[in-house]
Amino acid sequence: MNRTLEEIIDDYESTRMSYREFTKRGELNKQTLIEFESRFTDLRADLRPIRSKIAREYEKRSDKQATAIKFRIAVAIHEGSFLDDTGKPVYEECSINQAEKYASSSKPYKEFLEQKCFYKESYVNITDLREDMSMFINEIKDRIKAEQ
């Protein structure tokens, strides 16, 4: 079942709240603990393909790729072939050194950097969420062991 990230987060939040309410009541039924462990494990497994997809997107936006894009833009500026939406050159032909400075402030390069930041932040957040789920799973295992 391919679930969206939003669905997984919603299920995680409701499961987390239910688990906290269950533990506050103090009646730690082993079967219920096993059910909560199963829910967190399933949620963690559902996140795996999303995390992999986000990781691939982040890797596509490496520092090496950023440098390559900036250089391609600089060459286009230098040659006068970096065009705006109307088909006119954005910058006058200039030295490659000056073109590199312009490339750093170009819209395509800034968009690339924004995407890079977005995917990095997304990857970190999803990894943190998976770690949180693992902590719940471990806590539940400890509670089950204590019940035996």
Looking at this protein, which amino acid is placed at residue 88? Answer: K
Question: Is residue 11 within 8 Å of residue 42, measured between CB atoms?
Answer: no
Q: CA angle, corner 127, sides to 122 and 39, nearest 5?
A: 115
Concatenated DSSP letters of 102-134: HHHT-HHHHHHHHHHHHHHHHHHHHHHHHHHHH
Average pLDDT of the chain, as a whole number? 93
pLDDT of residue 27: 75
pLDDT of residue 93: 81
Give the model confidence (pLDDT) of 12-66 as tens digits: 999 999 999 999 988 778 999 999 999 999 999 999 999 999 999 999 999 999 9
- Name the more confident of 99 and 26: 99
Distance CA 137, CA 146 (A): 14
pLDDT of residue 137: 97
Q: Whole-prediction pTM value? A: 0.81
Give the model confidence (pLDDT) of 64-80 as tens digits: 999 999 999 999 999 98
Domain ranges of the chain: 5-147
Give, for 48, the enclosing helix (H) or strand (E): helix 30-59
**Residue 117's pLDDT band (boundaries 50, 70, 90)?**
very high
| pLDDT above 70 for 1 | no
pLDDT of residue 90: 86
| pLDDT above 90 for 124 | yes
Q: Label each residue of 3-37 as H, E or C.
A: CCHHHHHHHHHHHHHHHHHHHHHCCCCHHHHHHHH
pLDDT of residue 86: 87
